[in-house]
C-alpha cells in the first residue's frame, strides 16, 4: 500500500522538519482519534522513549486525541514492546509510541499498535492518512477526551517479562552487565534481570534527553564489551533506545548478534518440541543460520529486510520465531512484537536449562563471513534483474562460489544506493567477488 507518511515502522524523521513537527503531530493525534472513535468507544495509550522531544510530542498527541473526543492514558518512558503489551492488557483501542528507536536524539517518530498489540492494519493507516486531509475540528467541551497517567505501567511490564520464563528459573550466581542505551529500558531491565536472580551491573541508565544511543546500546556495543571483560562478567546484554533490539556479549567479550540469538532460541524450542512452523529471517540473515537450522531439521524462510515483513511472513506460515541480525527478535509464543528483554530472557532460560554458557551455546552455529558494499548510483532502477550486464556478472560470481556462498543485490529503500552482499566460507574469495560485483554495478548504473 502506498502511503505518504507511514513507512515500514511508522512516521519518522528529524525533529522540527516536516512531518516531525508539533503541529503535524497534533493533527495526527486528532486524525487517529477520529478513526479509532469511529470504530467504537476508545481510549488510547501513549508512551515514549527518553529523547527530549518526547515531552513536546506527548503533549501534541494528547491535545489532538482530546480534540477528537478520545481519552488518553499516558505511560511515560516505556519500551516499545511494553507499550504493545499494555495496549492489549489495558484494553485500549490503540497504543502510540513516540520514538526513533536506535536513531540519535535529533530524530523522533510516531508508531502505532492495534488493540491486539500488533502493527496497525494497512487499512487503518490509510484511514488515518485520509483523515489528515480534512480540516481539524474540536468536539464540544462535554465530549473532549480526558488524560490520565498510568502510575503502575513499569511494574506491570516487569512482571510480564518475568512471566515469559519458567517461574522456577533462578539465575543466582550469574553476573550480567546491561547496557540500556540511556533509553526506555533504563528503569525496567535492571529490575527484570535482578528479580530472576542474576547479579546485575548496568551502564547507559542515566538518560538526560540528549544521550540516547550515544556511544552505547545495541548499535555501539564496544563499551559493553569492555565492561564485561573488565568485570569478568558471565555475559552482557545491550538494548537499543526503545527496547526492541538486543545484542549480547559472551564472557570473552565477543559479540553474539541477532542471528546467533535466534539460533539459540530456535534450538531450545526445537529441543523441547515446542517450535512451530519455520523460522523467519531476512535477505540479510547469515547463511550459517540457515545451515545450522537445517541441521536441526528446521526450515529458514527469508523475508524482505524489516521487522514488519518478518512478522507478515511469520503469520502467513504459522511460525512463532523470527528476527533480524540487528537483534530484532520476535517470539510469538511469548508476545506479539519484537521484544529485546523477552528475547534475552529466552536465551538465559536456555543457559539455565542446559547448564551451558552463552559462549558454548553459540558454538552450534558457524557464521559465514559476509561482505557488504553500498554502491551509490544516479538513479535506482525498477528491477535489477532486467539489467543484462548485472545478470551476467551475478551468474559468473555465483559460478565461482560453486554453491558455497550466497549473492544478494538489492536497492536501498531510502537512498540511491545498491547494496551488494556476498557471503561464503572463503573470506578472501568473497572479498574479491564482492569488489568485482560492486564494480559491475557501478559501471552499469553510474
Question: Which domains does the chain carry?
Answer: 11-152 (3.40.120.10), 161-364 (3.40.120.10), 370-445 (3.30.310.50)
Distance CA 393, CA 307 (A): 31
Residue-level pLDDT at 412: 79
pLDDT in tens, 123-151: 999 999 999 999 999 999 999 999 999 99
pLDDT at 12: 94
DSSP assignment of 79-111: -HHHHHHHHHHTT-SEEEEE--TTS-TTEEEEE
The overall average pLDDT reported for the chain is: 95
Q: Which residues contact 185 (CB under 8 A, 6 or more apart)?
A: 79, 178, 239, 243, 340, 341
pLDDT digits (tens, 9 = 90+) for 279-297: 999 999 999 999 999 999 9
d(CA 13, CA 85): 25
10: cell is 511508522
Q: What is the pLDDT of residues 229-275, one digit of tens each?
A: 999 999 999 999 999 999 999 999 999 999 999 999 999 999 999 99
pLDDT digits (tens, 9 = 90+) for 358-415: 999 999 999 999 999 999 988 888 788 889 889 899 999 999 998 889 999 988 766 7
Residue 194 annotated among the catalytic residues of the structure: no
Q: With 80 as the cut, is the pLDDT of residue 298 above it? A: yes
pTM listed for this prediction: 0.94
Out of 99, 101, 114, 326, the active site residue is 101
Residues in the chain: 446
Amino acid at each position: 500500500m502506498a502511503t505518504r507518511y507511514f513507512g515500514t515502522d511508522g512516521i519518522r524523521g528529524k525533529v522540527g522538519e516536516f512531518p516531525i513537527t508539533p503541529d503535524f503531530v497534533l493533527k495526527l493525534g486528532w486524525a487517529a482519534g477520529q478513526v479509532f472513535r469511529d470504530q467504537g468507544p476508545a481510549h488510547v495509550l501513549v508512551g515514549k522513549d527518553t529523547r527530549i522531544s518526547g515531552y513536546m510530542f506527548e503533549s501534541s498527541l494528547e491535545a489532538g486525541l482530546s480534540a477528537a473526543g478520545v481519552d488518553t492514558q499516558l505511560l511515560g518512558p516505556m519500551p516499545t514492546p511494553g507499550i504493545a503489551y499494555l495496549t492489549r492488557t489495558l484494553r485500549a483501542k490503540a497504543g502510540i509510541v513516540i520514538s526513533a528507536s536506535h536513531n540519535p536524539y535529533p530524530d523522533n517518530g510516531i508508531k502505532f499498535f492495534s488493540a491486539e498489540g500488533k502493527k496497525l492494519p494497512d487499512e487503518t493507516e490509510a484511514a488515518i492518512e485520509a483523515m489528515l486531509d480534512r480540516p481539524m475540528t474540536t468536539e464540544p467541551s462535554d465530549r473532549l477526551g480526558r488524560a490520565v497517567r498510568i502510575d503502575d505501567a513499569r511494574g506491570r511490564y516487569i512482571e510480564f517479562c518475568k512471566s515469559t520464563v519458567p517461574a522456577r528459573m533462578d539465575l543466582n550466581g550469574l553476573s550480567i552487565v546491561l547496557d540500556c542505551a540511556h533509553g526506555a529500558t533504563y528503569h525496567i531491565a535492571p529490575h527484570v534481570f535482578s528479580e530472576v536472580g542474576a547479579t546485575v551491573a548496568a551502564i547507559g541508565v542515566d538518560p538526560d534527553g540528549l544521550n540516547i544511543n550515544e556511544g552505547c546500546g545495541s548499535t555501539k556495543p564496544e563499551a559493553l564489551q569492555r565492561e564485561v571483560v573488565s568485570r569478568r562478567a558471565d555475559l552482557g546484554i545491550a538494548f537499543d533506545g526503545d527496547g526492541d533490539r538486543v545484542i549480547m556479549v559472551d564472557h570473552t567479550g565477543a559479540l553474539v548478534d541477532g542471528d546467533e540469538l535466534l539460533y539459540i532460541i530456535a534450538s531450545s524450542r526445537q529441543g523441547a518440541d515446542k517450535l512451530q512452523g519455520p523460522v523467519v529471517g531476512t535477505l540479510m540473515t547469515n547463511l550459517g543460520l540457515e545451515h545450522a537450522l537445517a541441521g536441526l531439521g528446521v526450515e529458514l524462510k527469508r523475508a524482505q529486510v524489516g521487522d514488519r515483513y518478518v512478522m507478515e511472513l511469520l503469520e502467513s506460515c504459522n511460525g512463532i520465531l523470527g528476527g533480524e541480525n540487528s537483534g530484532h527478535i520476535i517470539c510469538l509464543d511469548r508476545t506479539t512484537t519484537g521484544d529485546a528483554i523477552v528475547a534475552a530472557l529466552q536465551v538465559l532460560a536456555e543457559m539455565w536449562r542446559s547448564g551451558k554458557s552463552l559462549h558454548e551455546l553459540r558454538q552450534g552455529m558457524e557464521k559465514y563471513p559476509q561482505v557488504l558494499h553500498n554502491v551509490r548510483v544516479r538513479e535506482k532502477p525498477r528491477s535489477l534483474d532486467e539489467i543484462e550486464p548485472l545478470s551476467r556478472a551475478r551468474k559468473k560470481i555465483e559460478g565461482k562460489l560453486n554453491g558455497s556462498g550466497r549473492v544478494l543485490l538489492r536497492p536501498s529503500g531510502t537512498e540511491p544506493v545498491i547494496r551488494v552482499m556476498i557471503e561464503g566460507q572463503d573470506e578472501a574469495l568473497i572479498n574479491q567477488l564482492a569488489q568485482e560485483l560492486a564494480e559491475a554495478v557501478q559501471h552499469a548504473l553510474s
